[in-house]
Amino acid sequence: MEAIKLNEKLRLDKLLAHAGFGTRSEIKKAIKAKLVQVDGKIVTDSGLIVVPNEQTIKFDGKQVHYRSVIYLMLNKPQGVISATEDGREKTVIDLLEPEDKLLSPFPVGRLDKDTTGLLLLTNDGQLAHELLSPKKHVDKTYEALILGKVTDEDVEKFKQGVVLDDGYMTKPAQLVIKDYINVENKVMSNIEVTIHEGKFHQVKRMFIAVGKQVLTLKRLSMGPLKLDEALSLGQYRALTEEEIVQLKMHRGIHV
């Protein structure tokens, strides 16, 4: 789809959502609470049509500056693929509201179909490139349930890097054992692992390399961006201004 142009007419709640002032429901409540002004007048209609570059819009006294770029944090559920479109599978874009699809966001990197957690969606190509470039080594932290007892020896192996099934030696990774559980006489390990690259199925393949199996995998963070635990699986929200600035500064992008 075409990205929304600045001089196009937009619903007020859509504009504020794109500008990162909250979810649609939060914005509707704020408008009803008379926190929004258009051209100096309080408005209470969230469906009011506005033209961003021709009108002055304020949210709780702060002037709204509309951007044609969008940054969304999604708590990706299982069974959904990290793609913009697919003829057979449900994609992360299918989880978005129609107004958010208008800005043509795409997933920054991929999470496996059965992996959950943090996924960034944006139409900011420069930021996406900086986060995905193999030379950039952006930290990514996951929590996982592992079949088998993860040991201190495994922690040390991850710290040194492990050899994957194709002969590739991974960069050092930080593995933390949180606790162990027993299910039907099988030992399982709750762990957190931080990797600094993004090879195909990397976390799963690293554990295979030490004789273990990943049962569940959830991404908690990507660089300075951390999953908002208030988001249920399948829910998403716009990044805050602070989160956007942190991401850009992390990659050396001028803000």
Burial class of residue 121 in the structure, from the number of CB atoms within 10 Å of its CB (0-12 exposed, 13-18 middle, 19+ buried) = buried
Residue pair 142/221 in contact (Cβ under 8 Å)? The answer is no
Two tokens, residue 166: 């194709």
Query: What type of residue is 224?
Result: P
Q: Measured between alpha carbons, how far is 119 from 108 in angstroms, rounded to an integer?
A: 7
The answer to whether residue 139 is catalytic is: no
Please name every residue paired with 238 in a beta bridge, in sequence order, or none if there are none. Answer: 72
User: Which helix (H) or strand (E) covers residue 140, if one does?
Assistant: strand 140-147
- Name the catalytic one among 112, 114, 139, 228: 112
Q: What are phi and psi of 85, to 5 degrees?
A: -160, 155
Q: How close are the terminal C-alpha atoms of the chain, in Å? A: 27
Residue pair 190/198 in contact (Cβ under 8 Å)? The answer is no
Two tokens, residue 96: 């978005």
Q: Measured between alpha carbons, how far is 145 from 191 in angstroms, rounded to an integer?
A: 7
The residue count of the chain comes to: 255
Distance of CA 2 to the CA centre of its chain: 22
> Annotated catalytic sites, by residue?
112
